[in-house]
Amino acid sequence: MKNLFTVVVLVLMLVMGQTASGDLVSNTTSRADGRIIVRFTGGTGTWTVPAGVTNVEVLVVGGGGGGAAGGTWNADGGGAGGLVYTNSYNVTAGGSISVTVGTGGVARSSYGDGNSGNNSVFGQLIAYGGEGGLQTRGGNQGGYSIDAGTNITSGKLGATHAGSNGGGGAGANGFGNFGASYGGDGVQNNITGTMSYYAGGGGGGYSGDNNSGGLGGGGKGASEGLSPPELNGPGHGGTNGLGGGGGASRDNVVSGAGGSGIVILSYPDPNGVLVFFFR
């Protein structure tokens, strides 16, 4: 009797999207190179590590600070959320990891300092919420920790005048001052397979028109220099999911809220192709 060899290919389909508890909002996709991408965009809870996964790439961004609300004079933009990234974070298959997505600082409806954003967390990684814009300077970007808060690395500082650096919020420019008042650009990262900016600072209130938010979701500040001018202009909100700082307002109207943060994971697809030979 002849030997008969049959090749059977089995593709194991693991359910990837049902591993989050609590009120976490998540979605799962795949990168062009086949790596799995999990985005947590809101809530708090735990994530159960899928079978076969022992190491993940992680990006954590805190919620951005809200912009300050100006009185007669201009006010200052909110600082971006803190950002922490690692390309190698050890996990245990089947284990649970705490996850929190920080909300942005809420908008102010009348004169006063902006409200700070809230922290985002993945296990031991903490990205702190950005500071709300102040009447004296732009909000500082939130810091980050890789050891559950024992040691904290500070974020970029907000500006006291005009433009800002990094993810800090911009300082205001008063009447007759025409220096730029743009929020600091955030940080580029390609964890999703596409290079994108995260954690941009909010723009300050400004007598001219160069008051944009920083790249990475920073909200634009109110401007007198637009056509028509935004007298009594509101600040623009930071972008949700990027941790952008909110833009400042002027003349006692609502400021821009900070954008919510995000937690993004990437790891090799644990789905396997098994080849069995039957004789």
Provide the residue ranges of all domains of the chain, joining segments of one domain with +.
Answer: 1-279
Rounded CA-CA distance 245/250 in Å is 16
Task: State the pTM of this model.
Answer: 0.89
Strand partners, 108: none
Q: How many CB atoms within 10 Å of residue 58? A: 22
Q: Helix/strand/coil (H, E, C) string of 127-141?
A: ECCCCCCCCCCCCCC
DSSP E strands: which ranges in the chain?
A: 6-11, 25-30, 36-42, 44-48, 55-61, 83-90, 96-100, 120-122, 125-127, 144-145, 187-189, 196-198, 262-267, 273-278
Rounded CA-CA distance 256/7 in Å is 61
What's the average model confidence in pLDDT over 262-273?
A: 86
Query: Given this model, what pLDDT does residue 195 score?
Result: 97
Query: Given this model, what pLDDT does residue 210 score?
Result: 75
The larger pLDDT score, comparing residue 228 to residue 134, is at 134
Q: Is 33 exposed, middle or buried (0-12, 13-18, 19+ CB in 10 A)?
A: exposed
Query: Which range is least confidently modeled, 57-61, 67-71, 175-179?
Result: 175-179
